[in-house]
């Protein structure tokens, strides 16, 4: 295909604005997320501490014991979700539906009662076996306090389900943009807690630790779809990364980047990745900067309800982050009286660096963690969680 056609195609896709889907999301459209049946870009057999990683669903079905994850029958999934009742739905998106469930003695004799979130892949949805298997592989290998725990899976006939720990407070998206979430999901306002400045800083640190862990792993992983709907919160508002369907092995050895098709969510994807397909850990850093900006300003990365010049949050707000007077005028008004002005300026400076057009100008996630640890509210700056 001629270069001009490829670039035109990318630009056309960029005009189709929408957000991707997380573990408990609202229904939104991804930037580019084709449905495939194989693990594009992965080593054919990737070794880890849990053994050989299956490349295809057929591999998994033929060798179910290669993972230490629990393997569930579809009938057990039906029992756990009360036959997939609508009042058990936590979220819905391009992959299918996420249900709240309980696995106990009635579901599987001898199983300790466990509240779970069960994600069922829609065979007609935007994601396919590739994304489902990628998520199972990554979360099956990786364990960290700031990654959502994958408990098990069901891969029976045409059924594809993943079973996670239940994150009682839902997504960061739900709490940061409650009015939109309430309309789309038709839930009561009481389900969305106010995100205080202290909470936002804690969530930012937790999420940064999750990304830093992925980037610093023995075999580095690029998350590739960091956004508010993919950051889940437990009952104590500890944040964990979810939805690894687009995750990809990072560059190793002398490699500077991984070349791949453009996947992710418009508004969060790093500009160099969108234009060249070159993916690095600093692509995740850019997306982190977008989310940090959303938490500072209280607006979505892309918001078509705003005046045209404010439509793209990064383009509008980033130039204002280094001007204190302008910065304080655009801060989320819900945060008034909760923060130290000195700390706000430093957080804004961090967001500015993460959003650098030059990937090399962005900090490493390990550096972001160090900065955020030093900026956590303490003493008189601490607002009740």
Annotated binding site: 119
Distances (CA, A) of 245 to 125, 205, 222, 358: 13, 23, 11, 27
**Binding site membership for ATP: which residues?**
119
In our burial notation (b when 16+ CB lie closer than 10 A, e otherwise), range 168-184 reads ebbbbbbbbbbeebeeb
User: 355 — phi, psi (to 5°)?
Assistant: -95, 15
Please, is 189 exposed, middle or buried when counting C-beta atoms within 10 Å of its C-beta (0-12, 13-18, 19+)? Answer: exposed
Three-state DSSP state, 367 = helix
Q: Could you tell me what percentage of the chain is helix, strand and coil, using 3-state DSSP and rounding each to the nearest 5?
A: 40, 15, 45
The Cβ-side half-sphere exposure at 126, using a 13 Å CA radius, reads 21
225 is an active site residue: yes
The single-letter DSSP state of residue 151 is E
CA 352 centroid distance within chain:
21
The Cβ-side half-sphere exposure at 320, using a 13 Å CA radius, reads 16
38 CB-near residues (< 8 Å, 6+ apart) = 55, 56, 129, 130
Residue 101 token pair: 């469930």
- Catalytic hit among 206, 225, 243, 284: 225
Q: Which residues are catalytic?
A: 225
């Amino acid at each position: 295909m001629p270069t001009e056609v490829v670039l035109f195609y990318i630009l056309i896709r960029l005009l189709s604005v929408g957000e991707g889907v997380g573990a408990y999301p609202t229904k939104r459209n991804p930037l580019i997320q084709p449905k495939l049946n194989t693990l594009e870009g992965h080593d054919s057999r990737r070794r880890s501490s849990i053994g050989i990683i299956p490349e295809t669903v057929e591999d998994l079905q033929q060798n179910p014991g290669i993972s230490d994850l629990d393997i569930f029958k579809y009938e057990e999934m039906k029992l756990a979700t009360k036959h997939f009742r609508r009042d058990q739905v936590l979220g819905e998106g391009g992959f299918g539906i996420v249900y709240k469930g309980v696995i106990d003695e009635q579901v599987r004799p001898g199983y300790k009662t466990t509240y779970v979130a069960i994600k069922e892949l829609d065979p007609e949805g935007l994601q396919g076996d590739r994304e489902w298997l990628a998520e199972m592989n990554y979360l099956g290998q990786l364990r960290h306090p700031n990654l959502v725990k994958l408990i098990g899976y069901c891969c029976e006939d045409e059924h594809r389900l993943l079973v996670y720990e239940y994150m009682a407070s839902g997504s960061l998206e739900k709490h940061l943009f409650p009015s939109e979430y309430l309309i789309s999901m038709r839930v009561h306002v009481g389900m969305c807690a106010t995100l205080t400045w202290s909470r936002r800083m804690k969530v930012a640190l937790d999420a940064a630790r999750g990304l830093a862990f992925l980037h610093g792993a023995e075999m580095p992983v690029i998350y590739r779809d960091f956004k508010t709907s993919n950051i889940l919160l437990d009952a104590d508002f500890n944040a964990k990364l979810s939805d690894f369907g687009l995750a990809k092995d990072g560059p190793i050895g002398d490699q500077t980047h991984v070349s791949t098709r453009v996947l992710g969510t418009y508004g969060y994807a790093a500009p160099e990745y969108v234009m060249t397909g070159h993916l690095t850990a600093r692509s995740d850093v850019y997306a982190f900067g977008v989310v940090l900006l959303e938490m500072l300003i209280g607006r979505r990365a892309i918001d078509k309800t705003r005046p045209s010049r404010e439509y793209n949050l990064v383009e509008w707000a980033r130039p204002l982050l280094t001007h204190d007077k302008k910065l304080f005028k655009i801060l989320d008004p819900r945060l008034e009286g909760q923060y130290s002005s000195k700390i706000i300026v430093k957080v804004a400076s961090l967001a500015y660096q993460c959003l650098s057009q030059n990937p090399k100008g962005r900090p490493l996630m390990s550096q972001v963690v160090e900065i955020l640890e030093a900026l956590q509210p303490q003493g008189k700056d601490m607002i009740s969680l």
